[in-house]
Amino acid sequence: MNIKKTIIGALLLFIAAPSFAQRTENVHGVYTYTVGEDETFSLAEMRHKCIVGAQNEAIKEKFNENIKANTNMVDMDISGEAISRFVEEIEACSAAEWLGDSKPTVFKVGYEADRLTFTAEVWGEAREITQPSVDLRWSILCGGTTDSYQSNKFNNRDRIYIKFKSPVSGYLAIYVLDSSNKKASCWLPYRSNASGRFEVMAGQEYVLFDRDFDVNATPYRMVTDKPLELNNVVLIFSPNPFTKCNDDAGDFRHANSVDIDDFEKWLRKTRKRDNDMVVDRSQWLVITNANAKN
């Protein structure tokens, strides 16, 4: 065997192979939103909108990318009162993705020309997207497990299920972020899973939180003591093994949870180590309680 020729051949193959090195940059962005006359959004919602806007501005400045953001209005009637809320959705066609904050966000409230304004300034890391992400299919189901129950709007104590399918095998985690108590609840892997990982098979459709589908599943109901509550669902998938965040154990009525700041730090570190990881924050849970008081 000619060792020299073998080594040269291997080097040529390595050089010819496509490179998917992803550029990571420190970024900084500012975004200001001026409230319209008829808008009735809460401070928490405005903070979220401005932070997302500032992150988009930071990515656009560094990567010359114009990210498109869609604002979907949620109009509901609670105890005879019409309430409007927005849910921000970012198109998954950006040239870069936000990995996490490098320092705390600065959020300010002010007035300009007699109009209320909100401004967010962010610092963080963003990573260039050099190849298409895995085409995941997932949907939120309210009160049932078939596609006819697909909805992100819940009444107090409604059951929730999530349908999921991936074209490749890998590992999945689902967290629900509640800005009112600043907690990230781990819904998947299930509490009974001691490995801290939830493996999924390519091409198989999963109905999560349904014990008829999986006897080890943890069922969940959407519960709120407020007239209206918005929670962000964070779906994390990778073809590479990863272990969930180190969280605090919940009781039989509550999922394991961790402070949102600690969750974001863990997610940022995990994503930096895994270029194949997909993080989808596009889904929101809208929960209403007609009996709750403001």
Whole-number pLDDT of residue 52: 84
Higher pLDDT, 283 or 82: 283
Instruction: Kindly report the average pLDDT of the chain as a whole number.
Output: 82
Is 244 buried (19+), middle (13-18) or exposed (0-12) by CB count in 10 A? buried
In the predicted model, what is the mean pLDDT of residues 279-283?
84
Closest by Cα among 288, 247, 285, 251 to 266? 247
In the predicted model, what is the mean pLDDT of residues 212-237?
92
Task: State whether residue 2 is helix, strand or coil.
Answer: coil
- pLDDT confidence of 131, banded at 50, 70, 90? low
Higher pLDDT, 145 or 69: 145
Q: Is the pLDDT of residue 95 over 50?
A: yes
CA distance 184 to 258: 5
Whether the Cβ atoms of residue 70 and residue 78 lie closer than 8 Å to each other: no
Whole-number pLDDT of residue 151: 94
Whole-number pLDDT of residue 255: 86
pTM: 0.70
Whole-number pLDDT of residue 35: 87
CA distance 279 to 17: 27
- The DSSP letter of residue 190 is -
Whole-number pLDDT of residue 92: 41
CA distance 218 to 186: 11
CA distance 209 to 255: 12
Whole-number pLDDT of residue 146: 95
